[in-house]
């Protein structure tokens, strides 16, 4: 019996999208307002989906208190109220696009999750801009 559970979370963070190997003109052309040198913020929404078999002893797939704690420690403590470009190791040399943030969050949570569980991360940069990552294919 394969089931999926989801834990939702939020964090607020600032970022600037740019490629240091490009000219200012090229950065402005590609990233537009997101290249603002003084940064801008988003209220990121996160859905963390875990799938697998129900444990016959607990009736759980995963104790959601455990998943909540993983998200707090790996994502919220690390990124909430931070400037992603300046304050985090993960994005010092990686453009903090929604795509890259989603993949980084997947890797951080994956490292804390039981190997027998599957993981999918969905990141909402805005209500209309959403990225999903299910791991390397």
Q: Which is nearer to Ni ion, 45 or 117 (CB)?
A: 45
Is 102 an active-site residue?
no
Query: Of these residues, 24, 40, 81, 132, which one is catalytic?
Result: 81
> Which residues, numbered 27-86, are part of the site for Ni ion (CB under 5 A)?
34
Q: Which is nearer to Ni ion, 88 or 119 (CB)?
A: 88
Q: Would you say 120 and 103 are in contact if contact means Cβ atoms under 8 Å apart?
A: no
Angle at 11 between CA 10 and CA 17, to 5 degrees: 125
What is the rounded distance in angstroms from the CA atom of residue 32 to the CA atom of residue 73? 33
The count of other CB atoms within 10 Å of the CB of residue 107 is 15
Q: Which is nearer to Ni ion, 38 or 58 (CB)?
A: 38
Q: Give the nearest distance from C-beta 129 to Ni ion in angstroms.
A: 9
> Which residues, numbered 80-109, are part of the site for Ni ion (CB under 5 A)?
none
- Tell me the catalytic residues: 34, 81, 125
């Amino acid at each position: 019996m394969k089931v999926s559970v989801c834990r939702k979370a939020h964090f607020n963070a600032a970022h600037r999208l740019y490629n240091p190997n490009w000219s200012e003109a090229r950065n402005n052309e590609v990233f537009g307002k997101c290249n603002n040198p003084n940064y801008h913020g988003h209220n990121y929404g996160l859905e963390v989906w875990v799938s697998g078999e129900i444990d016959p002893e607990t009736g759980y797939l995963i104790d959601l208190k455990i998943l909540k704690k993983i998200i707090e420690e790996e994502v919220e403590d690390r990124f909430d109220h931070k400037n992603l470009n300046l304050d985090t190791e993960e994005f010092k040399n990686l453009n903090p696009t929604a795509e890259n943030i989603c993949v980084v969050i997947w890797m951080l949570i994956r490292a804390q999750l039981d190997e027998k569980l599957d993981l999918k991360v969905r990141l909402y940069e805005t209500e209309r801009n959403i990225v999903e990552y299910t791991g390397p294919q």
